[in-house]
Amino acid sequence: MADDKPWALISEVGREGYIEESVDILKRHFHIVCHKDFLQNPALHGPKIQAVFMWNCCPAAEPSLLKSLPSLKVITNGGVGIDHLDVSLINSFGVKVANTPGVVSDATADIAMGLLLASARNIVEYNMIAVDPKTNYVPQNLMGVEVTGSTLGIIGMGDIGYKIAQRSKGFNMRILYHNRNRRSAEDEQAVGATYCKNMDDLLKESDFVALAVSLTSKTTGLIGRRELSVMKPTATLVNVSRGLVVDQDALVEALRSGTIRAAALDVTHPEPLPRDHPLLSLPNALITPHIGTNTFATTMKMVERMVENAVAAVKGLPLPDEVKLK
């Protein structure tokens, strides 16, 4: 019966929240309360909420919220990254945490290749020329760089990094990778990837460097002034991981000085950047607003996976994607 459905807290519908079609998936299994409605009467809604569906880091899992949800069993996050969640704190309330690995990998790898291609071939600049009413010729000095046959260095060869490698193979790219753990010989052979134990070796040789790591204390500031100086002056940095993986001040300097050719970023810190941030005015910086998973199909898969985890938690079953502290 519909009245037997458990209750869940969500951020909002529309704007920065859930698209209407995905809300239908939530409603099949849960009664839902939007965060703004919850805040109007926490005493009414708090005791019955058993799941929080977190989207774009909202609603934030702050202690004040956790204390107001005595029946909460799970926070399920839309996406892989959990750097915005204090898992230890959440677990201390007897609440489990889940994310949605796997289902986001293809779309994120696609945007990485899209950014790489758009930056290499000046696609945004050429679009502006093409639609400018004053255009009466195409300048020939706006030359791009070759992608086919170039060298791609992937830092972070997890599921997303590996799918980037699969796509780059179609461009006959030479693939180097650096990862905490080396992939199997079969994985390497399947995409023609060469392991670089020393990240500097990858940086020195790559025409494109793609970042696909999780944000941790070890990867924060992974690419700084020194690492950028090791890269080729003709190289492009592509980031689809997290903004804090790159020292943005150092990146601005490197782009201004010609230390590297360009940067193509789907992530920054913060998001969005302040409107006067220097990255936004650099002609060799291509930025998209963290849209790696923003396709209809992937969004629906993410919400379906979130629901699977939440239903399991409510029923006291093992979560398919529980995040556990190591």
Average pLDDT over residues 198-222: 97
Whether 290 is catalytic: yes
- 16: confidence class by pLDDT, cuts 50, 70, 90: confident
Asked if CATH classification 3.40.50.720 holds for the domain at 104-287, the reply, yes or no, is yes
pLDDT in tens, 57-87: 999 999 999 999 999 999 999 999 999 999 9
Asked if pLDDT for residue 2 goes beyond 70, the answer is no
CATH T-level topology, domain 7-102+295-315 = Rossmann fold (3.40.50)
pLDDT in tens, 220-276: 999 999 999 999 999 999 999 999 999 999 999 999 999 999 999 999 999 999 999
Query: Which residue of the set 271, 304, 308, 322 is catalytic?
Result: 271
- 325: confidence class by pLDDT, cuts 50, 70, 90: confident
Whether 225 is catalytic: no
pLDDT in tens, 90-138: 999 999 999 999 999 999 999 999 999 999 999 999 999 999 999 999 8
Asked if pLDDT for residue 150 goes beyond 70, the answer is yes
Whether 242 is catalytic: yes
Percent of the chain at pLDDT above 90? 96
Query: Which residue of the set 45, 178, 183, 290 is catalytic?
Result: 290
pTM for this one? 0.94
Mean pLDDT (the chain, rounded): 96
**Quick one: pLDDT at residue 1?**
41
- Better-scored residue on pLDDT, 2 or 149: 149
Give Cβ neighbours of residue 105 (< 8 Å, ≥ 6 apart): 159, 160, 163
Query: Which residue of the set 178, 183, 242, 305 is catalytic?
Result: 242
Q: Is it true that 7-102+295-315 and 104-287 share their CATH fold?
A: yes
CA gap 221, 227 in Å, rounded: 10
**Quick one: pLDDT at residue 56?**
93
Domain spans in the chain, listed from the N-terminal domain onward: 7-102+295-315, 104-287
